[in-house]
């Protein structure tokens, strides 16, 4: 066993896992508050990537400053998507909202294909490397982890310490009771969708500093987000972060032992197993296990 390769892959997977966790938190936040499965999640991730690309190549703006624009675009586009595609069907059966977000998915990908074609693109950024024992850490990955942690902490403080965040949680727990307390549930739902898409756009922007991408790349990350969300439990942002780290480690560590092409197969085997054994997610499964033993 090559311990140096294993250590390097573990650190790499841990850093990638934080990004995956941030990416999946947007999806699980929307489901937790609105009970909507957002199939437009992937295209918004892709939009975050192209925002950084356009700002860097068209205006010479540093990609990390471009993240602010990606956040603003994600928030505003999410609120617009809610009012245009979801507001009128928010109380309809889940299949209706699923199809509404799928239609948005197709529209965004179609427009992006017209504008950017399907050619592979990349954001040019180099922050050097940092040697850590036998491993060498890329500066771009460290910067991506730092931004992901800051955004996650900011989201937590917003949801748990601010008045608006408490209103969003009240709407998530009981929309009717929240409305009786004077909370405008429509705007809280719109803001929740905006926050979810903002997280997706930021994650996409950060991923663009690490990997090349096309207008179709969002679909891959959207599918990965669903695996992570199921692993961490639907509607559980903390579980999404844990699930992201698990998938990130799995992707990196397993490549030490098996070909890279087998990694997606392994991920979806785990996805099916989690659905069969722990459909509420691993955190809930461990909680029930402790209760049964006490």
Average pLDDT on 48-59 reads 94
**Cβ contact 232:282 at 8 Å:** yes
pLDDT higher than threshold 70 for residue 1: no
Q: Is 125 exposed, middle or buried (0-12, 13-18, 19+ CB in 10 A)?
A: middle
Burial of residue 123 (CB within 10 Å: 0-12, 13-18, 19+) is: buried
* pLDDT higher than threshold 60 for residue 212: yes
**What pLDDT is stored for residue 113 in this prediction?**
95
CA distances to 14, 39, 152, 174, 209 from 243, in Å: 11, 19, 14, 27, 22
Q: 77 with 17: CB under 8 angstroms?
A: no
Q: Is the pLDDT of residue 250 over 90?
A: no
Average pLDDT over residues 173-178: 90
The model scores a pTM over 0.75: yes
Q: How far apart are CA 114 and CA 111, in angstroms?
A: 5
- pLDDT averaged over every residue in the chain: 89
Mean local confidence (pLDDT), 155-182: 91
Q: Alpha-carbon distance 74 to 197, whole Å?
A: 5
The answer, yes or no, to whether residue 292 has pLDDT greater than 80, is: no
Distance CA 274, CA 206 (A): 28
- How far apart are alpha carbons 256 and 106 in whole angstroms? 37
> What are the strands, taking DSSP E only, across the chain?
129-132, 135-138
Question: What pLDDT does residue 9 have?
Answer: 82
The string of pLDDT tens digits covering residues 11-35 is 888 888 999 999 999 999 998 888 8
- The yes-or-no verdict on residue 109 having pLDDT over 80 is yes
Which region, left, alpha or beta, applies to residue 35 given φ > 0 means left and ψ of -120 to 50 means alpha?
Answer: left
pLDDT score recorded for residue 251: 86
pLDDT grade for 270, boundaries at 50, 70 and 90: confident
């Amino acid at each position: 066993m090559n311990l140096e390769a294993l250590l390097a892959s573990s650190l790499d997977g841990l850093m990638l896992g934080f990004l995956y966790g941030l990416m999946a938190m947007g999806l699980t936040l929307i489901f937790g508050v609105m009970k909507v499965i957002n199939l437009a999640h992937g295209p918004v991730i892709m939009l975050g990537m192209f925002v950084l690309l356009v700002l860097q190549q068209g205006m010479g703006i540093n990609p990390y400053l471009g993240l602010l624009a990606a956040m603003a675009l994600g928030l505003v586009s999410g609120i617009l998507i809610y009012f245009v595609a979801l507001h009128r069907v928010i109380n309809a059966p889940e299949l209706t909202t699923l199809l509404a977000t799928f239609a948005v998915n197709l529209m965004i990908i179609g427009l992006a294909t017209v504008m950017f074609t399907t050619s592979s693109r990349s954001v040019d950024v180099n922050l050097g490397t940092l040697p850590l024992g036998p491993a060498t850490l890329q500066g771009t990955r460290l910067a991506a982890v730092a931004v992901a942690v800051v955004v996650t902490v900011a989201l937590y403080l917003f949801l748990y310490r601010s008045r608006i965040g408490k209103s969003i949680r009240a709407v998530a727990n009981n929309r009717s009771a929240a409305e009786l307390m004077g909370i405008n549930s429509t705007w809280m739902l719109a803001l929740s969708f905006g926050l979810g898409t903002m997280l997706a756009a930021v994650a996409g922007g950060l991923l663009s500093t690490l990997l090349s991408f096309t207008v179709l790349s969002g679909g891959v990350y959207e599918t990965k987000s669903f695996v992570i969300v199921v692993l961490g439990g639907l509607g559980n942002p903390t579980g999404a972060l844990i699930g992201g780290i698990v998938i990130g480690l799995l992707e990196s560590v397993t490549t030490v032992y098996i070909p890279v092409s087998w990694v997606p197969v392994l991920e979806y085997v785990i996805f099916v197993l989690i659905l069969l054994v722990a459909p509420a997610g691993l955190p809930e499964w461990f909680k029930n296990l402790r209760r049964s033993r006490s």
